[in-house]
Amino acid sequence: MALNLLMLGPPGAGKGTQAERFAVARGIPRVSTGDILREAVHANTEIGLRAKAVMDRGELVGDDVMIGIVRERLEKQDALGGFVLDGFPRTVAQASALDGIMSSRDPLIVVDIVVPEAELVRRLGTRLICEECGTGAPVAVASASCAKCGGRLVQRADDNQAVVLERLKVYHRQSEPLVEYYRVRPTFRSIDGAQAPDRVAADLASAIEAAGNGHGARG
C-alpha cells in the first residue's frame, strides 16, 4: 500500500522541514507546490512572474494553476508509490479536486501541524532563504550562506511583518476550513508543532502510523 501523506498547517508551522525529513526517511518524493512555484519564479516564466506578484502581496495563487501543477506532478512515476504533499491543497476547492486525483489511489493520510499565532509570527520574521536556489535556512542558522549551494541568505520578500500578518489572515480565512473538511476522516490527525523538531517528527510518525491503521486515539 502506497503512503500518501498530506501535511496541513499555517505558514511557519514547519511543514516543509518535516515533510522533507519524512520523505527522505521513507524514500518517497516530497511534492512541494512552493518549490515548484519558486522554480518558476526563479526561471522568470510567465506563470512564475504572475505567481511572484501574488505571493509578494501575501495572497494565494489561483486554484486552476495549482490544481494543474499538482495533477501533473502526482502522475509522475516516482509519486505512484507514495508521496508527501506540502502546500496543497490550500482551499476546499483544491481539496475537492485532489479527491478526484486520488480517486483510484490508496487513501490520503492528513496531518495538521498546530502552532500558536504568536510563535508563527516570530518564526516567519526571522527565517532566511537562499537567493540563488530558494532553499530555506533553519531559524537558528548562524551562517550567511546557503548550506546547499553557497548562495547568500536573505529574508523572503513575503516575510516582513505586515505581509506575515496578511498571510496568516489569508490562511485563517481560506485554508483553515480544510481542517474541518478533513477532520471527519479516519485518516486525519493533528499534532503540536510548537515543540522541538525531533519531537514533532516523532509525533508525526506516530500519527501517520495510527491513521494508516485506521484506529487508535485521534490527535
Set 21, 38, 123, 127: catalytic member = 127
Give catalytic status of residue 167 as yes or no: yes
* Cα separation, 81 vs 14, whole angstroms: 24
Active-site annotation holder among 15, 21, 30, 73: 15
- Using alpha carbons, list the distances in angstroms from residue 60 to 136, 150, 163, 181: 19, 30, 12, 19
Exactly one of 38, 123, 167, 189 is catalytic; name it. Answer: 167
Q: Does residue 127 have an active-site annotation? A: yes
Instruction: Catalytic residue, from 21, 52, 123, 156: name it.
Output: 156
Residue 15 is a catalytic residue: yes
User: Of 21, 90, 123, 189, which is the active-site residue?
Assistant: 90
Q: Please tell me the distance from the alpha carbon of residue 87 to that of residue 132, in angstroms, as a whole number.
A: 21
Question: Burial, 194: exposed, middle or buried (Cβ in 10 Å; 0-12, 13-18, 19+)?
Answer: middle
Count CA within 13 A, CB hemisphere, residue 89.
Answer: 27
Task: Name the residues annotated as catalytic.
Answer: 15, 90, 127, 156, 167
